[in-house]
Amino acid sequence: MEQIKVVLGDRSYPINIGSGVIEEDNIFLPLKPGNQAMLVTNKTLANLLKDKVFFQLRKSGVKIDQVIISDGEQFKTLNEVEMVISALLEKKHSRDTTLIALGGGVVGDLTGFSASIYQRGVRFIQIPTTLLAQVDASIGGKTGVNHLLGKNMVGSFWQPSSVIIDINFLQTLPYNELISGVSEIIKYAIIFDAIFFNWLEKNIEKILLLDHKSMCFCIKKCCELKSKIISLDERENNFRALLNFGHTYGHAIEAHAGYGSWLHGEAISVGMVMAARTSELLGYLKKSDYNRIISLFKKVGLPIKGPKNMSAVSYLPYMMRDKKVISGEMRLVLPISIGKAKVFSGIDKNVILNAIKDSQ
């Protein structure tokens, strides 16, 4: 088992990574025998993994209840949060309870948000089961739910007590969910690490085949990069905004198409292509780097074109509601080379529209 620490003073927490780590002794710390906890998962994972996690929690002497939410991005809503809160109240969970999120980004975000508001804040533990959640969504304390007018518009910063990443859980993933997670891995390489990008170009087939050594390296690398950024900028006042590379465009696709129509990683893949094209049109990103980015997405099987029924101009209202907009000024994360990105504002809307049109 590998352990990485997110350093946030008295709110620091470990990220435990490995195969079968869910069965390790004391993996559920800070939970102790006799403590109360509520497992939150979805209908699909309840059938696949819930019993294994329940067994380990009960073996640890934890008093565990459960709430099973609907499966899918379209259910990442305040209605499901109310269901979690109601279950906690009905089972008489007090302020010393711990919520445990077993699932992908939807379950993790929704559980974390519920934990942040239940009795003004209780502990929660992340057990991410998708690649996307293991490398990105489960780390950093961003929690929330979607609104009809924008993705993740209702939420809070609420750090977990620990993150438990069991690589064996990836064997349950459908292939499209696997490559959706690879999208976020590529994101880290493009914005932070050219050497990692080179490694991905040579080893991406191993990742897609769930090669154990390659997958461990990838997940650990992404967790190290993200934990370092969170430690420096927890609330996205500076460096952390770089992690939104591709998301301003991608969230527009998700909201317009209807949540769940596109997987998050698929939409972000197109968003990264659009951001890279914007940078190229502005003269920052070299054509050769842009082509390498496109080539890697194609090799994975990720989309590089937006929805056919979504006009370029229809992206803009969603992009203007993005959380990075300040005083009505859109800010975009753009790569200036492979391994380096910056936040830009004041970009000509026509350049943005042309970049979108070139990726349709």
pLDDT for 314-349, tens place per residue?
999 999 988 778 778 899 999 999 999 999 999 999
What tens digit of pLDDT does each residue of 257-296 get?
998 899 999 999 999 999 999 999 999 999 999 999 999 9
Q: Annotated catalytic, 256?
A: no
The model carries a pTM of 0.94
User: 175-358, which class in CATH?
Assistant: mainly alpha
Cis bond upstream, residue 14 (ω within 30): no
**Torsion angle, CA of 257/271/310/327, rounded to 10 degrees?**
90
344, two tokens: 């830009």
CATH class of 2-172: alpha beta
Q: What CA–CA distances, in Å, run from 109 to 99, 198, 296?
A: 12, 31, 28
pLDDT tier at 302, thresholds 50, 70, 90: very high
User: pLDDT exceeding 70 applies to what percent of the chain?
Assistant: 100
What is the C-alpha separation between 2 and 276, in angstroms, rounded?
A: 34
Domain spans, the chain: 2-172, 175-358
Give residues with Cβ within 8 angstroms of 283, minimum separation 6: none
Q: What are phi and psi of 347, to 5 degrees?
A: -75, 135
Residues 80, 177: Cα–Cα separation, whole Å: 22
Q: Which is nearest to 182 in space by CA: 129, 219, 229?
A: 219
217: Cβ contacts below 8 Å, ≥ 6 apart: none
Q: Active site residue: 76, 151, 221, 247, which one?
A: 247
Distance CA 260, CA 64 (A): 30
Concerning whether 32 is annotated as a catalytic residue, the answer is no
Q: Is 120 a catalytic residue?
A: yes
Q: What is the pLDDT of residue 269?
A: 98
CATH topology identical between 2-172 and 175-358: no
Q: pLDDT tens digits for 214-258?
A: 999 999 999 999 999 999 999 988 889 999 999 999 999 999 999
How do strand 142-147 and strand 150-157 relate by DSSP bridges? antiparallel
Q: Which two tokens stand for residue 349?
A: 């809307």
d(CA 188, CA 169): 22
Question: Would you call 235 a catalytic residue per the annotation?
Answer: no
Six token digits for residue 190: 């493009």
Question: Count H helices, E strands: the chain?
Answer: 13, 11
* Residue 244 bears catalytic tag: yes
Reply yes or no on whether 93 is catalytic. no
